[in-house]
Structure 1
């Protein structure tokens, strides 16, 4: 059986040494190795060594720092720069041991002191230098790879961070937009509530301007109405009291204010970034202390009835998005203005209708009673001469007519002065109503009202109106000969009963045009009272109202 052969790796060594004795010693020490093989090349100049390093592969360099063409640590630094991947062992003399330590600090793998080196130390130093250099190369490779990974991860993190920052900005913008939209919706809802709760145009416009400021900040604001070519300020915010008093109601011709005329003619908003640089077709007074302006026309159907104007002291303050938001407020303002006008018209029409009703009542009741009284008065002298026995009856009739006319007049005065209802006693009010009804028809009415009856003002008015409606129905729609009005009062309970012996009616067959019973029920409901109507054909009618003090 043959012995297994062992392959010995050859280590290529470059020695840079200008002392032949030292070079000879190194060769001899390397040749003494029984377990390693070395191929040694020797040069006495650094530049020759660098050429060899560039042309051939060496495993290690043994470097004398002081050679013919280089001296000191510069020798090491130059060699490292030319062959950074080859391990270097510095050879020093006994007097330069400190220089060897410094060389190691600068990157040499080891240093050996000439004259103190044996074969084992030299070979071991070469072996360790090669291994350490390999470890360094491996560590450097891993470090470079790690740095690449770190750089890649850093780039990824930068990209992720950039994306997150963009998402945060986008989310913040979305939240800001949502917050602005919510404020916008709440502002419109508040104005809508104002429109539904009041017909006071000034109050609605004040709330509108206050809500606008939540959505579109401003320094000054005005609401103007246009009528027959005249612009009139009806509401303003941001001015001091003295200026505001002077401005409200101020009238200017549209032809004098080109920005107002432009809105009136085109129905388009006016947005001025800087009033000092207005376009040719729109001008603003140059002495204004504000710089930005936005005007929104207020129109109903096809007619521009006014405008909403906002001003700011800074230039470039308002945006087209704000103009779109203000358009919604202008539409609400148009509704408020139209509602106010319709309400004024309705109030005027109601006043006219009330005057016409009073005139009819005055004619139907008072005028006829006075006319009959005048006829009786004229006939009295003749009756006195011809049939004096009839005079007492005529005088009684005359007294009845005059008393009824007075009662009718007092009832009409109560309509004109509702406060009188609260000043008079309930007993006096009922007597006036019964006197009035007796002047229209020969019907006997009994009144029994508790003198000690006291009731809240709203209850008193509701009871009076129900009694008035009931007695009017008795006078107009029944053939009753007798009626009664009774008011019973207890500490926390009041009951009103109105009865007649007329022909009655079928409650299920009341015409839809008849409003009397529904009005009485509404008045009873308004004071949380109970209204009961008992009737049937040919049995008369009884109206009973019961109120209980809920706080008792």
Structure 2
């Protein structure tokens, strides 16, 4: 069973490189020497006009071997027995051919040079020298034993060919060393290039995913997008995202595909790989879940990737990908997975925080609605109750018809205010109505009921995400309502600009203004809630006001650099 952890030096197995063929750099050279020495042997045979059967047979054998090795070159890999056997077979074949066709007088004597060179190219100086001495011994000893009482045994030939074989061995060994160093540098360069190419591909994939990570602040959208982006990167059968529940110190199922775990889990209920991920600092790859570190989330899962989701130095969740085939995930998938989880964790944490702020925003919205009802409807109803009491008392002694007519007019006014308040509360940006349309509609109603000269300018070439537009709309609504109720202004100017990435809202009046540092007035005008809404969407709000100089509210939202 193999377990890999991303981002750790300990316990991470080194990448095994394919052993290099030490004869590969000499492939064009060895067949050329083999054919050259064989051709020399055949030419010598023709010149001597010696057409003996053994010479003919060995010529055919060497010719067939040369043809075979032309299409199946000789290979040598360190540590592989068959490689050394192949080299020694070439040496033995040429020795037998020489011994069988006249020893040092054999027409194929030059073929021994090919065998010694091949041995030197394969294993260097020492092996080449030993091979040369062994060849000389295997040719000279049988020749001496069979002809030691004959004048045909020539010690000078033996010494001469032994020296020549040793010289060839030294040249081959030196060439092997030079080519070996060059090949080592080439292999290292190729390996580095392949690693750089792999790293570049990994970074490109992660960059592409980072660009498509959800900009939405809705948690369900973020979770669905996270799993979808992972599927674009990695093939899996099962996926699950668990969110940390700090209130219970347990886990809540955020998103799952291919498996149906419990909606809530305790630490003890987590599968062993997820418990290990929660306790660790990086991603974990388990190649075979059936070998002791399983089971996983899925009953049929046999391999998996697991990672903690950490953001702002805290554990916010866990993520798991599993497949039914063992060894399905490798080092590439582990690298992609480990590079993906950090931005995904940040996106999930942002969405959770925004959910909390939205909950607090709902409380603020309820407070605003209560304030609107109190300011506009509550006071009017209190006035109507007071007038009814007064008219009731006067009706006992006086005619009250004019007062009743006035009261009926006041009731109609209150009903109109109730309708306006409810209409304002229902007004919001939607997928069909953007910020500019909503502001224009709202300002027309304000102009009808307030003695204000209103100027509205807008320039929109794109839209923000809906949740952001809604927060900015509430800021605009609060600022405009403040002008309507508290500023005693004659003119209201509103400007909205948006290009889909950046936006600016400006609400300015020429009213009474206030001391911007007066905290009590800030709270009473709802400016604290406006700042909180701006912070929730990453906007900046500036409020410029002074007594008798009016107020300007500017809210700017800028795309991240």
TM-score for the superposition, normalised by structure 1: 0.49
Q: Could you say which structure has the higher strand fraction?
A: 1
Q: Which has the larger radius of gyration?
A: 1
TM-score of the superposed pair, with normalisation by structure 2: 0.48
